[in-house]
Amino acid sequence: MDTGRDPGRTTGRGTRVVARVRTRIGVTGHRSIPAAVLPSVRTGIRRLLQGDEELEALSSLAAGADQLFADIALERGIPLTAVIPGMDYEAHLGDADTRASYRRLLNSCRTRVNLPVEATHEEAYFAAGRWIVDHVDRLVAVWDGLPARGLGGTGDVVAYARRTGVAVTVLWRPGMLRS
């Protein structure tokens, strides 16, 4: 996994110059975030995307957690990478406002990764989640802690991250369930 780490270089005078380490943070989460949970999720994302380290944010730009995370990353000047599932993705994102937000965010991305076409939408979502996990140092999960409602849901991506040893930070208000 390329983590963006640069061991540094030596100048002509023999002085060692060490490059800053880039930390890649990805997101997985619910498309629907209850209003009572939203303030704590926003605060949590802002907290995770602050500091002195050089960051890169990875998101599939879906409605809900993905777009919220992407907006906050861009607001903080953090480069954003879009990971697009291999399917007719934009058509399945939701209403016109969600699709417009997706296009706005996509146009603001530094990098776009288009994944190969999968047999089903669920497989495409899960492939995108795994790709993000495989290319990040940490994962933010906007998750109520319940099992995924279908293959590739938030619970599946969190389980994959934990199996592969990627650090997961869950943002959710205890006791609240998504609709």
Considering the entire predicted model, what is its pTM? Answer: 0.87
Q: How far apart are the first and last CA of the chain?
A: 36
- According to DSSP, the residues that pair with 170 across neighbouring strands are 141
**For the range 88-95, what are the long-range contacts, defined as Cβ-Cβ under 8 Å and sequence gap of 24 or more?**
89/124, 92/121, 93/62, 93/63, 94/31, 94/63
Give the model's pLDDT for residue 59.
98
Using the structure block, give the residue that is written with the tokens 């270089």: 9
Show the DSSP H helices in the chain as ranges: 38-48, 65-75, 96-108, 121-134, 154-164
Reading across the β-sheet that carries 138-142, which strands appear in turn?
Answer: 111-117, 80-86, 54-59, 22-29, 138-142, 167-171
Quickly count: other Cβ atoms within 10 Å of residue 54's Cβ: 14
Lowest mean pLDDT among 6-15, 75-84, 142-151: 6-15
In this prediction, residues 41-62 reach a mean pLDDT of: 95
In this prediction, residues 79-107 reach a mean pLDDT of: 96
Q: Which two tokens stand for residue 123?
A: 């497989």
In this prediction, residues 131-152 reach a mean pLDDT of: 95
Residue 27 dihedral angles phi and psi, to the nearest 5°: -130, 145
Residue 75 dihedral angles phi and psi, to the nearest 5°: -60, -30
Give the model's pLDDT for residue 166.
98
